[in-house]
Amino acid sequence: MNFLITGGAGFIGSHVGERLLRDGHAVWAFDDLNAFYDPQFKRRNLRDLQALAKPFEFCHGDITDRAALDEVFAAARFDQVIHLAARAGVRPSLADPALYQRVNVEGTVNVLEAARQHGVKKITLASSSSVYGLNSRTPFAESDIVTTPMSPYAASKLAGEALGHVWHHLYGMDVAMLRFFTVYGPRQRPDLAIYKFAKLILAGKPIPVFGDGSAARDYTFVSDTVDGILACTQRELGYEIFNLGESQVVTLSRMIELLEGALGKKAIIDRQPLQPGDVPITYANIDKARARLGYDPQVKIEAGIQRFAEWILGSEF
């Protein structure tokens, strides 16, 4: 099949593209290589994909540019779209909420509408565990009422879920919305905590720890997230929302301990106040994904951090 991956040069997108290429599919990666973090990271990912010598094409473009999207859709007949492109991150969204609205909401409308007008019936979209906000029940289940987003980023992702439902309801598109939970692993974005902490530990510099270290996250190794994404591409779902997490909660302090062990170096802790928009815990109930997708995460945090450390120790950046 022919797959279009928006955000296809990014962390998760490049892993999805690699898996699809290895499985014999053709992949087009649509990405604007913006300066949210150093574009050299995405260019390295593209080189890795091109080195596979499989049917792969990179398309440089922005999802807020409808004409650029139409040009890509007109150039190839796509069987499915995997929409991963977005402005990411809770804290950066506080600084520029309008940008997050434009890219994550208007950009998603552009992708959905381009897919519809060019006859693509199936689309898989990235949402986020951040939509749960200050959810009082754990683990978080897809049936929970989500009305308390805590950041512009979370609100933009919640809007994306609603838009996906509209395009399913009005036009019969098959839509899967995937709530990712703190994805990590090789090729991780440099703005994410595990990458930043590893680089600072290796450099002998202090790592900023917001709060007392008790904040807990459902860290999910990237290969497990990719398994869930591809499972959606292989099923007719109508409109469904799925949690893709490890369903294992790890505190910030424990994650730092694991990094120290994998890197063979102690961290210097710089305690700072809690940040606006942060939530105390993310924790995925994955019963629905197990039952409907056969989703079965395999990589526990201890093994995942070790694999990440091996990658970063050999990384050129």
Domain ranges of the chain: 2-313
Residue 193: its pLDDT value, please? 93
Residue 136: its pLDDT value, please? 72
Asked whether the whole model's pTM tops 0.85, one would answer yes
Q: Would you say residue 39 has pLDDT above 90? A: yes
Q: Would you say residue 189 has pLDDT above 80? A: yes
Q: Would you say residue 278 has pLDDT above 90? A: no
Average pLDDT, the chain: 96
Q: Residue 192: which pLDDT band, with cuts at 50, 70 and 90?
A: very high
Q: For residues 172 and 18, give the distance between their C-alpha atoms in angstroms, rounded to a whole number.
A: 29
Q: Is the peptide bond before 190 cis (omega within 30 degrees of 0)?
A: no
Topology at the third CATH level for domain 2-313: Rossmann fold (3.40.50)
Q: Which helix (H) or strand (E) holds 244?
A: strand 239-244
Contacts of 265 (CB under 8 A, 6+ apart): 201, 202, 204
Residue 256: its pLDDT value, please? 98
Q: For residues 131 and 136, give the distance between their C-alpha atoms in angstroms, rounded to a whole number.
A: 13
* Active-site residue list: 153
What's the per-residue H, E or C state across 140-158?
ECCCCCCCCCCCHHHHHHH
pLDDT tens digits along 78-134: 999 999 999 999 999 999 999 999 999 999 999 999 999 999 999 999 999 999 998
Residue found by looking up tokens 């053709």 in the block: 26
